[in-house]
Amino acid sequence: MRLELLAEPYAVCTAPHPLVPGPGALAAVLRDADGYTWVGPEAEAPQGATCRGGWRVLAVEGPLDFGLTGVLAALTAPLAEAGVPVFVLSTWSTDFLLVPGVQLEAARVALTAAGHELTRPR
């Protein structure tokens, strides 16, 4: 598979109240029984939320058909073997893997060794 590295670092944040993403860049808000999770560009992280920044985003070239199986397994297995944590988001058209920026090179090595191609930001 082909993955594109997005240019900017991302953050994953949590808060007990709704968090609203800004316009433009990839962003997501999820709610579960424990509160809200916000994912977006680190520079836009919501004030007052608990955040962990420094994530880098690898976007799977899409669109991906809903009938495909094993896409995430093919991408996360080599990362797991290399000891690289991953936070995954899926949209209607594709998947996004967030990896810690300090382990980006290890992720690149693991994914290319598994036959995947990474491209740099445009």
Per run of 10 residues, the mean pLDDT along the chain (length 122 residues) is: 94 86 80 91 91 95 72 93 96 92 98 94 64
- 5-30 in b/e form (b: 16+ CB < 10 A) is bbeebbbbbbbeeebebeeeebbeee
Residue-number span of the structural domain to which 8 is assigned = 2-119
pLDDT value at position 83? 98
The predicted model scores a pTM of: 0.89
Tallying the residues shown for the chain, one arrives at 122
Q: How many domains is the chain partitioned into structurally? A: 1
| Sign, CA torsion 38/42/44/45 | positive
In this structure, the number of other CB atoms found within 10 A of the CB of residue 80 comes to: 12
Nearest to 45 by CA among 78, 20, 69: 20
The CATH number given to whatever domain includes residue 54 is 3.30.2130.10
